[in-house]
Chain A
Amino acid sequence: MPEVLIPIGPQHPALKEPVNFKIFAEGERIVRLELDIAYNHRGIEKAAESRDFIKVVPLLERICGICSHSHTTTFVKGIEEAMGLQIPDRAQYIRTIVAELERMHSHLLWLGVAAHEIGFNTLFMWTWRDREVVQDLLEEISGNRVNYGINEVGGVRRDIRPETAEAALRQMDFLDSRVVEYEQMVREEPTTLARFRGVGRLTKEQALAFGAVGPTARASGVDYDIRKDDPYLAYADIPFEVVTVPDGDVFGRTLVRIGELRESIRILRHAFGHLPSGPLRINAPRGAPRAEILSRYEAPRGELAHFIRTNNTDRVERLDVRTPTLANWTSVAMTLPGHHLADIPVVVAAIDPCLSCTSRITIVDRERRDVRTMTWDELRAHGVRFYRAKEGI
């Protein structure tokens, strides 16, 4: 059978960064894959060098539409460390609250996308409906559904009123009951069991060797979590557990994310209930002394690292951003070979790529010079049909 090259991507308006996957397949089996992430390089690292810290924060907020708070928090806490500032407790708690709400909306979104990729649209509709509860809370706190604009160097820009905290605590009970239901659904539904179990398997040794981060690593039993390993914001005094499972497949990644939803609710209950009083921000100096800071953050998708070099001015000399998707890519490239073409959507979606922007697929048969193009939707439908015929689901 001839080896077939299947390019996926690069354009998809719904997700954040366009990417192109070139997948080499033999029939239905994947042989290897290559990645091209060139399509949405916007030069933000370069642009950050020519703006002062105040202007860099909104710029970094726009690196990613889903983990916008992650990028600004990583940056401002790095700059604050360089300046030697002690941030008021209330600001740290508010940052933590927004960070955990962001994790919840990101994981609920992921759960819906993963369900959609396997044709389980009921779960998709339910998680996205419940995600609106989280979005409404974010809107109430920050005024925005995305790009919350909460952070600034020295503290936060908006307060949380006591009524908001009380209303949020009530919503946590609702979300808690939903998460219980999702867990039961994922564990018992034949569709999720057949399409998630054993797919995209990554052993603990592989996860360590290929440098997987976040839920991808934790689903393989690696308990890396920056919130515990290198505590920042208010995580040092809020009780929570790092969720790990030994499964190592897409099923495990789903369970880890559901477990993290539960832990996020626990963190949010504590944070809303114990909001310290005090100021929201302190006045930060305009410039930062010469320093080299590695600022680490547990974003919804895994460890996010900003390397910041300041140089006695009000600008960064260098800002080097390493996003979790780039770290997880190696593990996907290593685990996909051997799988079915029909599993691509769910395995790629399982790392929750911040760049899973895949709208068209061209299938090139090298021998016959035959080119046909498939949209992502068609590939997804192919996956659903393939398993329906094979497993009867």
Chain B
Amino acid sequence: MTQRGLDLERVTQAMGEFGLVEQVRQNRIRVASTRERVRDAIVRAKDRLGCDHVIQIACVDTGKVLELHYHLTGAHRTVVTIRAELPRDDSRIASVHDLLPPAGIYERQMHDLMGIRFEGHPDLRRIILNEDWPESEYPLRKDWKMDPTKFYGGVRKEAT
């Protein structure tokens, strides 16, 4: 724990061109980026700020847009959050699995539950939902409702 904390000034210098940088609270800095620039922003955060550890990629469906929050940290222990919004009907974004290896598994999870397509991800197979879950149904989306006419996996009623 030699290097301590990133301050707003340093993050703004490095990340300012990607969007608004604000200090949310102590130890948390947020960068509001866009989906086209997220990958570049993560490359920059890795190179200039030493953010080489991805804590989580959080995904929120607000009902209007899908938000992605890439929570990154590094030896400085400050959490830098890079944020992007995706339209719900065209939810594509560049994958970062090669920049941050654990992101690969998180992206598979979001693809499965939220229906986000991570372009460039080598293996977007199901990871959370069962293999007989119907296609194009994303249960963590706000407007998702179970369709009683569809089969969601498990043992069929007729079989019991």
Contacts A229-B77, A307-B58, A320-B59 given; indicate if A210 touches B101 (C-beta within 8 A): yes
B58 pairs with A208, CB closer than 8 A: no
Q: Is the CB of B69 within 8 A of A330?
A: no
How long is the Cα–Cα vector from A294 to B72 in the complex, in angstroms?
11
Instruction: Return chain A residues, CB-CB under 8 Å to B61.
Output: 318
Name the CB-closest residue of B to A326.
B105
Contact B56 A208 (CB under 8 A): no
Q: Assess the B60–A322 pair: CB atoms within 8 A.
A: no
Q: Are A37 and B127 in contact (CB under 8 A)?
A: yes
Of the candidates A43, A307, A326, which one forms a contact with B69 in the assembled complex, judged by CB atoms under 8 Å apart?
A: A307
Known: A305-B55, A305-B71, A317-B60. 12 other contacts (CB 8 A): A36-B127, A37-B127, A38-B128, A46-B139, A211-B101, A296-B79, A318-B60, A318-B61, A322-B55, A322-B56, A326-B105, A330-B102
Bound state CA distance, A309 and B24, in angstroms?
14
Q: Can you pick out 24 interface pairs between chain A and chain B where the beta carbons lie within 8 Å of each other? A: A37-B127, A38-B130, A41-B129, A45-B140, A81-B25, A209-B52, A210-B101, A223-B1, A224-B53, A230-B77, A294-B28, A294-B55, A294-B79, A296-B79, A305-B55, A317-B60, A317-B62, A318-B61, A320-B59, A320-B60, A322-B56, A330-B102, A330-B105, A334-B101
State which residues 263-306 of A face B: CB under 8 Å. 292, 294, 296, 303, 305
Closest 10 CB pairs of A and B: A307-B58, A211-B102, A322-B56, A229-B77, A320-B58, A318-B60, A305-B56, A330-B102, A41-B128, A210-B101
| Minimum CB–CB distance for A322 against chain B, Å | 4
Find the residue from A228, A318, A329 having the highest chain B CB count within 10 A: A318
B65 within 8 A of A: no
- Chain B residues lying within 8 Å of A320, measured Cβ to Cβ, are 56, 58-60
How near does chain A come to B97, taking the closest CB pair, in angstroms?
A: 10
Instruction: Note all chain B residues with C-beta closer than 8 A to A224.
Output: 53
Across the two chains, which residue of chain A brings its CB closest to B133?
A38
CB distance from A9 to the nearest CB of B (A): 14
Contacts of B127 in A (CB 8 A): 35-38
List of B residues within 8 angstroms of A209 by Cβ: 52, 101
Which residues from chain A contact B54 at a C-beta distance below 8 Å? 211
Check B129 against A38 for contact (C-beta < 8 Å). yes
- Bound complex: CA A46 to CA B139 (Å): 8
Asked if A327 is at the interface of the complex by the 8 Å CB criterion, the answer is yes
A206-239 to B contact mask, C-beta < 8 Å, 1/0: 0011110000000000011000111000000000
Indicate whether B100 reaches chain A with its CB closer than 8 angstroms. Answer: yes
- Check if B33 is an interface residue, CB within 8 A of chain A: no
A-B CB contacts (within 8 Å), total count? 86
Q: Which of B52, B60, B102, B131 counts the most A-chain CB atoms under 10 A from its CB?
A: B102
Task: Write the A173-205 contact mask toward B (1 if CB under 8 angstroms, else 0).
Answer: 000000000000000000000000000000000
- Contact check, B55 vs A208: say whether CB atoms are below 8 A apart: no
Q: List the B residue with the shortest CB-CB distance to A210.
A: B101
Docked pose: A292 CA to B127 CA in angstroms = 27
Q: How far is the CB of A21 from chain B (nearest CB, A)?
A: 13
Minimal beta-carbon separation of A378 from chain B (angstroms)? 26
Contact of B1 among A39, A43, A228, A326 (CB under 8 A): A228
Q: Which residues in A have their C-beta under 8 angstroms from that of B105?
A: 35, 326, 329-330
Whether B106 lies near A326 (C-beta < 8 A) is yes
Binding site for B on A (CB under 8 A): 35-39, 41, 43, 45-46, 81, 208-211, 223-224, 228-230, 292, 294, 296, 303, 305, 307, 309, 317-318, 320, 322, 326-327, 329-330, 334
- Does A294 lie within 8 Å of B101, measured CB to CB? no
A38 / chain B contacts, CB cutoff of 8 Å: 126-131
Tell me the nearest residue of chain B to A327, going by C-beta.
B102
- Contact A211 B100, CB 8 Å, known A41-B128, A320-B56, A320-B59: yes
> Does B104 have its Cβ within 8 Å of any Cβ on chain A?
yes
Residues of B near A292 (CB, < 8 A) are 24, 69
- C-alpha spacing A115/B37, complex, angstroms: 49
Contacts of A46 in B (CB 8 A): 139-140
Interface flags, B89-109, vs A, CB<8A=1, else 0: 000000000001110111001
Establish whether residues A208 and B52, one from each chain, have CB atoms under 8 Å apart when the complex forms.
Answer: yes
Contact A303/B55 with A38-B127, A329-B105 known, Cβ cut-off 8 Å: yes
Which residue of B69, B102, B131, B139 contacts A210 across the interface (Cβ within 8 Å)? B102
The chain A residue sitting closest to B28, CB to CB, is A294
- The proximity string for B residues 105-136 relative to A, scoring 1 for CB distances below 8 Å and 0 otherwise, is 11001000000000000000011111100000
Q: B residues within 8 A CB of A210?
A: 101-102
Report whether A294 and B128 are in contact in the complex, using a CB–CB cutoff of 8 Å: no
A31-B111 Cα distance, complex, nearest whole Å: 27
User: Distance (Å) between the CB of B16 and the closest chain A CB?
Assistant: 21
Contacts of A307 in B (CB 8 A): 56, 58, 60, 69, 71
